[in-house]
Amino acid sequence: MFHRNIYQYLNEWKNRKGRKPLLLRGARQVGKTSAVVEFGKKHFRNSICLNLEKADDSRLFSEVLKIPDLVQLIELHSGYKVVEGETLLFIDEIQNSTVAMTQLRYFFEEIPQLHVIAAGSLLEVKMIREGFSIPVGRVEYLYLHPVTFDEFLYALGDEQTFDFLRKIHITSPIPKATHGLLLKKFFEYVIVGGMPEAVAKYANGASFIDLNPVYESLLKGFRDDVFKYSSRAQVAYIQFIIAQSPLYAGTRIKYEKFGGSSYKSREMRTAFDTLEKAMLLRRVYASSSVKKPVTANFKKSPKLIFLDMGLVNYSLGVREDILNTNELGGTFRGQIAEQVVAQALSAFFVTREPELMYWYRESSGSTAEVDYLRIHKEHLVPIEVKSGKIGTLRSLHQFMHASGHKLALRVYSGNMDVRNVELENKKTYTLLSLPFYLLFRLDEMVEEVLSARAT
């Protein structure tokens, strides 16, 4: 198992006073189980792992027990002594037991010093379908996403590149040859994607073609899972969306006749709701806000983002195009770049569920759209995924004119650049142009620019 950034958050939770049982959320196959098991090995004397998809483990939660009785039952079942502060109790696939969900609150109330982590992939779907709830105020949450670029470098053992990227500042010139090499490494990551199984196999010497069975298995598994989280009436809609969504990643969609189907809007919207709760896809909603708070307009067509770019690239058949390009923004009408940036932005949401929006404005005879909005402290930063000359960033200029903000961000295949841009009304703002390979450091780079402006 390779390094995951979630370890930092898990360690902070472990050492925090007044902590609550932790519920780790994320789509299937993003590495939740492996991350918790590895964390347990490194930080606890012993770990007890219960998988509630297994009948023997699930039987422990056939009825609500007093916590001392449940702990004793777990000890007898596992053969390990439960010691507060030294034992990690990990309840995996907890969505399979309403009793286990109920017991979480009693762990917090009766044995708060015991470290308890639960994980579930289809939790919200099961909650709606079966009518149970998470104990309010008795659990904490963390969210795990597909592998990020820095995690990918760790998996490949390329710590030299990682260390170099960590040392880059907005004042650091990146030589042209170095930039080209870093971009090539990032495109390698884009092709493989962030599903841990694909990353691990690639790190062990597999070629891109060797990963095909991994992608096929993952996509088939998602389709087969439909029966676990949908009614029989929904199955056809959901399986269709799973098959079609990678083809529409990074684009605005309409529910009516999605993917060339004859399906109606109402049924498709409900199916999309279910898949979003299962975290297999995400809808990026429109907003006309230029200041906080940012509010969504649910009447506008949302932008669709699939779980992982590796699955998207495989489904679209564009891996060779990415391998042979030095401009990601032009690959498959810019869809891949939009997916890549959204996936990177989602990974910043570790302590709460991701919420991404794009900006739009309509006026007579013209429209403007900026790809993403990100809140950074008190700032609302517009993010444009586009190459080309600065003068072509018209929508971004319109946002900056309307908002009065002082910083905008462009993500592209070019080298890092920071410059002042003058608008038609003589107002100026700072444009930070960030290469794709520095996306994982986006917040740090934004903070550097803002600090430089303040001095």
Chain segment 321-367, per-residue pLDDT in tens: 999 888 887 777 789 999 999 999 999 999 999 999 999 998 777 78
Q: Is 275 helix (H, G, I), strand (E, B) or coil?
A: helix
Query: Is 131 a residue whose pLDDT tops 80?
Result: no
Q: Pairing mode, if any, of strands 87-92 and 379-385? A: unpaired
Predicted confidence band of residue 390 (pLDDT cuts 50, 70, 90): low
Please tell me the number of Cα atoms within 13 Å of 271 on its side-chain side. Answer: 27
Q: 198 near 215, Cβ under 8 Å?
A: yes
Q: How far apart are CA 403 and CA 406, in angstroms?
A: 9
Q: How far apart are CA 400 and CA 404, in angstroms?
A: 6
Does the pTM surpass 0.85? The reply is yes
Q: 6 near 144, Cβ under 8 Å?
A: yes
DSSP state, 441? G
Query: Is 279 a residue whose pLDDT tops 80?
Result: yes
For the chain, the C-alpha Rg in angstroms (whole number) is 23
Sheet containing 115-120: order of strands: 46-51, 87-92, 115-120, 22-25, 140-143
Start-to-end CA span in the chain (Å) = 44
Q: How far apart are CA 34 and CA 368, in angstroms?
A: 43
Q: For residue 379, list its beta bridge partners.
A: 376
Q: How far apart are CA 139 and CA 338, in angstroms?
A: 34
Mean pLDDT value of segment 59-84: 96
Q: What are the structural domains of the chain? A: 6-143 (3.40.50.300), 150-346 (no CATH), 357-454 (no CATH)
Q: Is 128 helix (H, G, I), strand (E, B) or coil?
A: helix
Residue 196 is inside which H or E element, if any? helix 196-203
pLDDT score at 232: 81
Q: Cα 132 from chain centroid?
A: 26
pLDDT score at 123: 79
DSSP state, 297? B
